[in-house]
Structure 1
Amino acid sequence: MRRLYTAGNQPGRKARPFLHELPVTAALCYTDKGEKIIRRGWAKKEMKFTVEEFLKTENLGKMTLICGESGLRKEIKGATIIEAPDIVKFINGGELLLTGLYAFNSCTIEEFKFYISELEKKNVSGLILKKRKLVEGVESKIVLLREYAENFGIPLIEVSFEVSFQTIMSLVMERLFNEEVTKLKYYKTTHDNFMALSLSNSYKKNPVGDILDMLNKLIRNPIALYNQDMSCYAATGSEEYEFELSPKAAEFDPGIFSNYEYTRQEGEYPCYVVRMNLNVGIQMYLVITEKYDKFNMMDCIAVENAIVALQYEFSRKFAVSKLEKKYQHDLLNNILNGKVTSADELKKNASLLGMDPNGHYRVIVFGVTYEGSTQKKMNEKLQQINWLEDVVRQRLTDVKVHTDMDKVVAIKTANPNRTQAEYRKDLKEMWSKVQAGMAQHNKKLVVKAGAGKIVEGIMQLEGSYKEAADAFSFIDIAADISYEGNAYIMMFSDLGIFKLLCQVDDPALLMEYVPESLQKLFNYKKPQQEDLIITLKTYLNYNQNLSKTAQDLYVHYKTAAYRIGKIAKITGIDFDNANERLAVRIGLVVYRMIENYNKK
């Protein structure tokens, strides 16, 4: 290799070669007098790397030449993995094609014949085959592949399933180029393979999984992709891998320039974690488990190109998702607000949303508050709603999600045969999942939810939505209604008689349901007013038991008795009258409703 050095003759500096210089040969020759000399000249490739030479490679285990002996002298100019049926578009000619036929798993025999006919147009040097019994119609496809190889003199070679494609590609590259160029060539080869996979139209059923599977074939180790919540997003193999980031993980040098952070942590098998911030604002973790082969620098090159392919795919998914969400948002908004009046339009909207127009549904309205303080920054509130929407989408099943200003609306499929108690249990479980998801963003975020009734047909969703919104609006007074302390989820049906009052949106009319005696207490404009109101609620909740009232309020018994006497004096309430006590209870709740309306 002819090299130019940056250090020159400067002492103490290590010379670094420029890789782009032209190669030369160096030959040991002798003069007529027997003196040794070095004769240098421009390199000439005296011997091509052929398929026949490849078959003589010792460290690839047993290789069987199935057919195509006439093509053994074909020159190998590169290696490409067939990871998508239309990979032929990206072949230049002279490649050694590697395949397990899994890319053709879903192809019919006719489709497979078409791909082979397309392959005939390319002058490939050979085919490396690893048989997989899981491939549909594998034996018939191998017969067709053999016919093609025999007809066109293409060596068809079977290798052991344990031999990784990366090993084959590395050996081919090492034979063709020197060490530095091998890395560059391997980078370009893996880049081309991943880009061909990304641009292919035939792999879109599970694109992220296909990218991970291709990486798995290259590095021969289990791979899993985790989101920022450390939930497994995708993995090679059929099972999901459980993984937890270790605080003892050490930095790992991949040996190449990288924009990503590599760490290594110990376990049953060493794990290499690549933290990456994708270009759509998502942080994810790529985890490689060193179970079979040693993780090395060549693997890191493959990982870097896999990440580029993942970035492309997530960008595509993000753009499509934005369009779908915007379209679905408009459709759901019209349905929930009763703007769809035509049966044909309703049926069309249901079809576009993937909903059964005659199915059973329940609407749940979610909101979030910041515990301990009132936030005034609009961007913080918007961020919280975006988090809430993502959590509801990820953690709840069978839901359609719609964002309405500062609330997230979930339309959940429902079983009308379940009991009310079972529904309450289900709703609490849903709330717990959403709350846990929001706590991962910020532990001070508290989720609240209101649920409407079950309706049959999406035309009736407007009614369930209104009930859910009303229940959500009065979630803060749920404790006054149920007498069970603070609540974070409220079913509209649990509002009881207060369902009627929810229909009244005029505070002046609501005030008519507050007894005059209680109005006097709320009009008592002195510092003790709040203590007196709390004491009255507690006293009624404990069935006028002064001892329990004092204990609950952490005050002396005489203080509680004094306050009750003060209340009786201000209001004139007759605590011995059951009807009046009931009216006062209702009045306390109604006054909270009035406060909510005034806040709005």
Structure 2
Amino acid sequence: MGFTVEDLLRTEEGGTMKIVCGEQGLNNEIKGVTIIEAPDIVKFINGGELLLTGLYAFKSCSVEEFKSYIYEFRKKKISGLIVKRGRLVDDADKKIELLQEYARKNRIPIMEVPFEMSFQRILAIVMEHLFDEEVMLLKYFKTTHDNFTALTLGNSGSENQFQKILDMLEKLIRNPVSLYNQNLTCYASSSGEKGNLKLLDNLQDYDPDVLTNYQYWKQVGEYIQYVIRVRMNVGIQMYLVVTEKTPPFTKMDCIAIENAIVALQYEFSRQFAVEELEKKFQNDILNNILNGKVTSETELEKNAGLLQMDKNGTYRVLVFGVKQDGKPQKNMNEKLMHITCLEEAVRRRFPDLKIHRDLDKIVTIREADSSRTQSEHRKEMQDIVRQVQEEMKYQNRNLCVRVGVGKIVTGIANLPESYKEADEALTFIDIAGDISGDGNSSVMMFSDFGIFKLLCEQDNLQNLIEYIPESLQKLLQYKKPQQEDLITTLKSYLKNNQNLSRTAQELYVHYKTAAYRIEKIARITGMDFDNANEMLAVRIGLIVYKMIENYNKI
């Protein structure tokens, strides 16, 4: 608590003041002092002031007008009133009575001083104490600023720099502090606790009583916690949390926190710059390796050392991409933003992976165990996608993570082979359900393509079209509104082993509607649904047609 009305009464001049009413408000803090020389001044006070008046400013105003000025007192929550009488004031007794009624209801002390006492003297006493407090706060600000500056500049680049900043802050405010990321996961803590941050239902705004660019909240659980939301200079949102375990949280603590935040922002910026440089360096090396531009053994060995990889190790390439539910990604800036979100999610979940960022995908290299079964590898890949998808939900809930998986290779010289397969697997992941029969898929292993791997090697679209039987080509060339329904019905009919009942159920249409469509397909194409070989060719042709569509989108 700063300088209060009671503190003023304890001064030498305060001994001449007589308390008229409002004794319950003697602990009100005086945040300023103003002499009322004109009635309109009450509209420009900030709040918390001690007001000095001889009532002469209200000499000619009516009682109703005086009530409006008292209403302004109530809005601004003044700390107290000092009045003196002696001059003629219209309706003085009624106005004093209204002031006293206001003071009793709002716990505002009213003091009366002798007429001959100078308001300037009272003004000087109050401002002297207020300035003493301001000087003390300024000195404390400079002290904490110097401490954090010395820590950040003197130890720049050292390990656990965030931990050191939090440790210093705890020593200053004598309460534990923790830093949490935007997912509410603990990033660093002065107490060593690593639990997640829980924002409670009673979370409410808190006024730190200092100039700040940050949002302060207060919540009450086992302990009172003060949560400060901070946006770092690199666009990362963090939460600094103070747990009030020993001394109460004060304005001095807020000053220390403001300086600690500046130190944290500096360190985030420094680390971000270093990491971006390292990522670009690693990205360039990986790009050369994955695209087969590194051929000499000496260069391979040198690059393996720079990447901290075993030149003869066993690896597999994964290519990650994202798809936005319900909307095609057409805007390039939007695509780049989504890939950035994906890269951050992969790095957070799997910091040990070697990551190469491309324009529309994230390529990763991970160590692989060639002794494991294909089923075990597939389950592991699905778990990786699930973890990355979980991380992505904090960025954009509408983005679906997909991954293409290449084969296991020995030696980094053979990584281009695995990369080519993984890239093609991601390109054709939309047809994974048609091949595997499991519907929409988020993981596609190139080995799952089977015979279709041969088709992926075809660069000439005309050659691919030759794998579509003539009967199916007639349906694909049937340029009428019903074409899409007919193709969908044909796919479902073949998938359900030519069972009309299951086809109708899957498409949510009447049995007769499904039967009519199949009859129409037979008339248009001349397909013989009893010929097993022709039906196999048609199923392959449907997949090839989807592959051609994918090629046209590239």
TM-score, with normalisation over the residues of structure 2?
A: 0.75
1:345-387 CA-to-partner distances (Å, cap 9, x unmatched) read 1122122222222222211111112211224322222111111
Displacement after TM superposition at 1:504 (Å): 0.8
What is aligned with 2:390? 436
Residue 240, structure 1, aligned to residue 212, structure 2: no
Give 1:148-547 correspondences, 5 Å limit: 179-201=133-155, 204-547=158-501
Q: Distance in 2 between matches of 1:193 and 1:6?
A: 31
For residue 585 of structure 1, what is the amino acid of its counterpart? R
Task: Look at both structures and tell me which one has the larger radius of gyration over its CA atoms.
Answer: 2
Q: Distance in 2 between matches of 1:219 and 1:340?
A: 56
Q: Distance in 1 between matches of 2:285 and 2:374?
A: 30
1:103-161 CA-to-partner distances (Å, cap 9, x unmatched) read xxxxxxxxxxxxxxxxxxxxxxxxxxxxxxxxxxxxxxxxxxxxxxxxxxxxxxxxxxx
Displacement after TM superposition at 1:7 (Å): 7.0
Q: Distance in 2 between matches of 1:363 and 1:291?
A: 50
Q: Distance in 1 between matches of 2:351 and 2:378?
A: 17
Displacement after TM superposition at 1:488 (Å): 1.7
Specify the SS of the correspondent of 2:234. Answer: coil
Are the aligned partners of 2:339 and 2:362 in contact in 1 as well (CA < 8 Å)? yes
What is aligned with 2:551? 597
For residue 242 of structure 2, what is the amino acid of its counterpart? I
Are the aligned partners of 1:235 and 1:241 in contact in 2 as well (CA < 8 Å)? no
Specify the SS of the correspondent of 1:521. Answer: helix
1:283-311 CA-to-partner distances (Å, cap 9, x unmatched) read 11101111233222222111111111101
1:189-211 CA-to-partner distances (Å, cap 9, x unmatched) read 22111111111247711111111
Q: Distance in 1 between matches of 2:396 and 2:319?
A: 20
Are the aligned partners of 2:185 and 2:195 in contact in 1 as well (CA < 8 Å)? no
For residue 361 of structure 1, what is the amino acid of its counterpart? Y
For residue 529 of structure 2, what is the amino acid of its counterpart? F
Specify the SS of the correspondent of 2:466. Answer: helix
Identity of aligned residues (%): 61
Give 1:546-565 correspondences, 5 Å limit: 546-565=500-519
Specify the SS of the correspondent of 1:453. Answer: strand
1:22-81 CA-to-partner distances (Å, cap 9, x unmatched) read xxxxxxxxxxxxxxxxxxxxxxxxxxxxxxxxxxxxxxxxxxxxxxxxxxxxxxxxxxxx
Displacement after TM superposition at 1:393 (Å): 0.6
Greater CA drift, 212-221 or 470-479: 212-221
Are the aligned partners of 1:364 and 1:468 in contact in 2 as well (CA < 8 Å)? yes
Specify the SS of the correspondent of 1:595. Answer: helix
Q: Distance in 1 between matches of 2:486 and 2:32?
A: 86
Q: What are structure 2's unaligned runs of at least 5 residues?
A: 1-30, 52-130
Displacement after TM superposition at 1:558 (Å): 1.4
More helix by share: 2
Q: Distance in 1 between matches of 2:162 and 2:483?
A: 62
- TM-aligned CA distance change 1:236 to 1:414, over 3 Å: farther
Are the aligned partners of 1:505 and 1:597 in contact in 2 as well (CA < 8 Å)? no
Q: Distance in 2 between matches of 1:287 and 1:415?
A: 43
Are the aligned partners of 1:398 and 1:413 in contact in 2 as well (CA < 8 Å)? no
For residue 407 of structure 1, what is the amino acid of its counterpart? K
For residue 272 of structure 2, what is the amino acid of its counterpart? F
Q: Distance in 2 between matches of 1:359 and 1:525?
A: 54
TM-score, with normalisation over the residues of structure 1?
A: 0.70
Specify the SS of the correspondent of 1:257. Answer: coil
Are the aligned partners of 1:431 and 1:447 in contact in 2 as well (CA < 8 Å)? yes
Are the aligned partners of 1:448 and 1:488 in contact in 2 as well (CA < 8 Å)? yes
